[in-house]
Amino acid sequence: MLRPMQVAPSETPALNNYSPEVRQQLFAYVLQLADTSLILGHRLSEWCGHGPILEQDLAMANIALDLLGETRSLFQYAAELEGQGRTEDDLAFLRLATEYRNPLLVEQPNGDFAATIVRQFLFDTFHYHCLVELHKSPDAQLAAIAEKAVKEAAYHLKWSSEWMIRLGDGTAESRQRLDKALATLWRYSGELTTPTATEQALQAAGIIPDYAALRPAMDAHVAHVFGEATVPVPQGVFMMTGGKEGRHSEHLGYILAELQYMQRTYPGLKW
């Protein structure tokens, strides 16, 4: 899926000024972002050829491709920050499930179309608003990756928001499926804006956005979309966390088994 690199990574400006500690934290954070878009991109790609209609099949494949593109930029940057000679492919294909740092939301199974839409909407709402701020990061490479990705994330959020409204304010069947998906998936939304110790340190250093400051805009968007969808915003739900610290659901292992099979079986295999 990832190809041997023919395009050199960007000329990265100034990695120099970071202390080894901050550099390690930044590596962990960039890896977390890469894992997140890789796993969600992989999940969406599972729909390819199975979408409810051709146009939506294409939409999910397109979004998966955007996420995979962002993943590559992030893994390349992570490899550079680590400076141990590991490549983007090593990071994607040769790490264990417990080393993956994606939030639990993105590894949840596709379920029906409503479940995929709810998962995507919750992720897109965070992804878009986070990228808008990450674009202003003093870390030039993170800012450049965000500058590129935020344009794509805006399309994704528009798509998933419109589908939330169609499903919620659609037929009895679509509404019932949306309600069921929300009952299962809402509990994974809180992890996105719950900072880990690594994220807290980078927030304090002003390198990544303060998630609490993202919440008003995120909550307003959710309230608007749920309002249009005639669906009440879930309240008082216990939030599951742990994915960003490597404690995953059983689903991730199955994803990685499929994703990493080739490199595990034939180490170093190239196209």
Partner 1 sequence: MVATAPTEERIWQLLEEVTDPEVPVLSILDLGIVRSVRVEGEQVTVSITPTYSGCPAMNVIATEIRLRLLAEGITKVTIHNQLSPAWTTDWMSAAGRRKLEAYGIAPPVDGTATGHVLNLFGKDTAVRCPLCKSEHTHLVSQFGSTACKAHYQCDDCLEPFDYFKCHA
User: Which residue in the set 26, 40, 44, 63 belongs to the binding site for partner 1 (CB under 8 A)?
Assistant: 63
Instruction: HSE, CB side, 13 Å, CA atoms: give it for residue 142.
Output: 26
Q: CA 212, 213, 216 angle in degrees (round to 5)?
A: 95
Least separation in angstroms between CB 178 and partner 1: 16
Cβ–Cβ under 8 Å, residues 26 and 207: yes
Q: Which residues 6+ apart lie within 8 Å of 101 measured at CB?
A: 28, 31, 32, 35, 36, 243, 244, 245, 246
Residue 229: name the closest of 127, 150, 117, 85 by CA: 117
User: Which residue in the set 42, 43, 72, 177 belongs to the binding site for partner 1 (CB under 8 A)?
Assistant: 72
Q: CA 87, 2, 147 angle in degrees (round to 5)?
A: 80
Which residue number, 151 or 247, has a Cβ lying nearer to partner 1?
151
Contact status: 2 vs partner 1 (CB under 8 A): no
Residue 160: name the closest of 105, 213, 208, 240 by CA: 105
Least separation in angstroms between CB 55 and partner 1: 4
Contact status: 149 vs partner 1 (CB under 8 A): yes
Q: Which stretch binds partner 1 (CB under 8 A): 21-29, 54-62, 182-190, 252-260?
A: 54-62
Contact status: 270 vs partner 1 (CB under 8 A): no
Which residue number, 169 or 245, has a Cβ lying nearer to partner 1?
169
- Residues 153-182 close enough to bind partner 1 by CB under 8 A: 154-155, 157-159, 161-162, 165
Which residue number, 105 or 165, has a Cβ lying nearer to partner 1?
165
Helix 20-45 to helix 54-82 angle (10° resolution) is: 160
User: Which residue in the set 40, 97, 150, 231 belongs to the binding site for partner 1 (CB under 8 A)?
Assistant: 150
Cα–Cα dist 64/107, whole Å: 14
Cα–Cα dist 181/109, whole Å: 11
Number of residues forming the site for partner 1 (CB under 8 A): 44
* Residues lying near partner 1 in the complex (CB under 8 A): 3, 6-11, 55-56, 58-59, 61-63, 65-70, 72-73, 132, 140, 143-145, 147-152, 154-155, 157-159, 161-162, 165, 221, 225, 228
